Chains A and B, each alone.
Chain A
């Protein structure tokens, strides 16, 4: 159950797009279409952004999109806004009733 690999940080100016990668293995990301993404503002409860690789919960802005290719999942934030500054985590089923998070990526809005 090793953590999925995410960049420690990414940054962008307001209005720009940023993409966060999440790399695993064929035993987790590559083996199942069960990748989800969370936005976490420190001190608050994490929020579900994406489930089942690329599905958005109702009410969440379409500025957030995601996809998967092989063992890597990606989250793109388009039209970056100040309130998007937060930590972002990917999460995947890893087989045998185990789940694994990514190490987290801090998004900074310049």
Chain B
């Protein structure tokens, strides 16, 4: 059974930084296409970033230059480094993935909340 568990969320002031983690079991993050998806309060889902199994990374325009997606094989963990955080980054952040495609996600975590507020 595949399990994704996010952590690292919390409260941060505008301009601050946070690092989210997504610990995986039942799947290896380095041979799975992995993404971060967020949901702002009262809003819909928003794709944030993807890292292909081969290592290529891509970002939504709203986070480009501020967020960095990465992974650690030894920890079997996906990360999202978030810098220059804005109030509009406040959301529940999910990690998601699939072995075969970046166009859909079979695996999802439960999410970790991020609040950016002064």
B45, B61, B111: which contacts A104 (Cβ < 8 A)?
A: B45
Q: In the complex, which residues of chain B have a beta carbon less than 8 angstroms from the beta carbon of A67?
A: none
Q: Decide yes or no: A51 and B104 within 8 Å by CB, A45-B94, A104-B45 being known contacts.
A: yes
CB-CB under 8 A from A48, the residues of chain B are: 104-106
Q: How far is the CA of A47 from the CA of B60 in the complex (A)?
A: 22
Determine how close the nearest CB of chain B comes to the CB of A64; give it in whole angstroms.
14
| Contact residues in B for A46 (Cβ distance below 8 Å) | 45, 94, 96, 105, 108
B44 at the A/B interface (Cβ < 8 Å)?
A: yes
Q: Which residues of B contact A91 (CB under 8 A)?
A: 45, 47, 103-104
- Give the complex CA separation of A103 and B43 in angstroms: 7
List the B side residues contacting A87 at CB < 8 Å: 44
Contact size range, B: 20 to 34
Q: How many A-B residue pairs have CB under 8 A?
A: 65
Q: Does B101 contact A (CB under 8 A)?
A: yes
Q: Are A99 and B44 in contact (CB under 8 A)?
A: no
CB 8 Å contact bits of B35-64 with A (1 = contact, 0 = none):
001000001111100100000101011100
- A residues contacting the other copy or chain, number (CB 8 A): 26
Given A46-B108, A89-B44: A36 and B103 within 8 A (CB)?
yes
Shortest CB distance A59–B (Å): 11
In the A-B complex, the 7 residue pairs with the smallest Cβ-Cβ separation, listed nearest first, are A45-B108, A104-B44, A36-B104, A51-B104, A97-B58, A34-B103, A99-B47
- Choose one: B44, B60, B108; the contact of A98 (CB below 8 Å): B60
Q: How far is the CA of A44 from the CA of B62 in the complex (A)?
A: 25
Min CB–CB distance A93 → chain B (angstroms): 5
Cβ proximity bits A83-110 to B, threshold 8 Å, 1 near / 0 not: 0000101010100011111111000000
